[in-house]
A and B are shown apart, each in its own frame.
Chain A
Amino acid sequence: DAGVTQSPTHLIKTRGQHVTLRCSPISGHKSVSWYQQVLGQGPQFIFQYYEKEERGRGNFPDRFSARQFPNYSSELNVNALLLGDSALYLCASSAVRLAGTDTQYFGPGTRLTVL
């Protein structure tokens, strides 16, 4: 089975632009989470979506938004890019069993550089 896939692999944008990152979860997984990882640090939680609804949001400004589609894939959108948005953006999928949260499996990430 394919793992979590993300596109694009790399992206270069300039300040003020908009960017859309895409993620496809593991087949059968209904939840997608997004993380931002600045070089040399641990990932920071941005959003989680389950069954197309937002279930969790981290401390990120409203410039960050996301959505989940009926096939459980997801998009992360960032508006008005700042230099500080340069990072590796990770997507993770999980099955989310009824008993509680489930283990998250990560994709390879999208490296965003803002100039």
Chain B
Amino acid sequence: AQTVTQSQPEMSVQEAETVTLSCTYDTSENNYYLFWYKQPPSRQMILVIRQEAYKQQNATENRFSVNFQKAAKSFSLKISDSQLGDTAMYFCAFMRRSGNTGKLIFGQGTTLQVKP
């Protein structure tokens, strides 16, 4: 069974600074997807970034980038130039590619507060 672990329940960062959120996962699969989702206090879950395991290049989306270490089963999210609107709960999630069950496995989440 796959598991996803986020070891940082809460983090804070000053506006305009950089912060890194950690995520590790456990799987015996070779083909899978990894995601970071953001859930602001308004509760709508928003996709931040997606990584396909077969791609060695780390995904980036504007101020958001990941450090994907497949051998170490690590998938951290870096937020550059943090903004007040980045305040939210961040979830790391895993999806196996085979089987097509559409099951996302989420970590426990990290609450990020961006301070002015």
Interface residues of chain A, those whose CB is within 8 Å of chain B, are: 31, 33, 35, 40-45, 48, 50, 55-56, 58, 88, 90, 92, 94, 96, 100-101, 103-109
Q: Is the CB of A100 within 8 A of B100?
A: yes
Instruction: Report Cα–Cα, A88/B39, bound state, in Å.
Output: 12
A-B residue pairs in contact (CB < 8 Å), sample of 25: A31-B102, A40-B109, A41-B108, A42-B107, A43-B45, A48-B102, A48-B103, A50-B100, A55-B101, A55-B102, A90-B45, A92-B104, A94-B102, A96-B102, A100-B98, A100-B100, A103-B33, A104-B47, A104-B102, A104-B104, A106-B37, A108-B42, A108-B43, A109-B43, A109-B45
Contact across chains for B103 and A58 when beta carbons are under 8 A apart: yes
4 further A-B pairs in the complex, CB-CB below 8 A; given A48-B103, A104-B104: A42-B108, A96-B102, A108-B42, A109-B43
Tell whether, in the assembled complex, residue A88 and residue B100 are in contact, meaning their CB atoms are under 8 Å apart: no
Q: Does B21 contact A (CB under 8 A)?
A: no
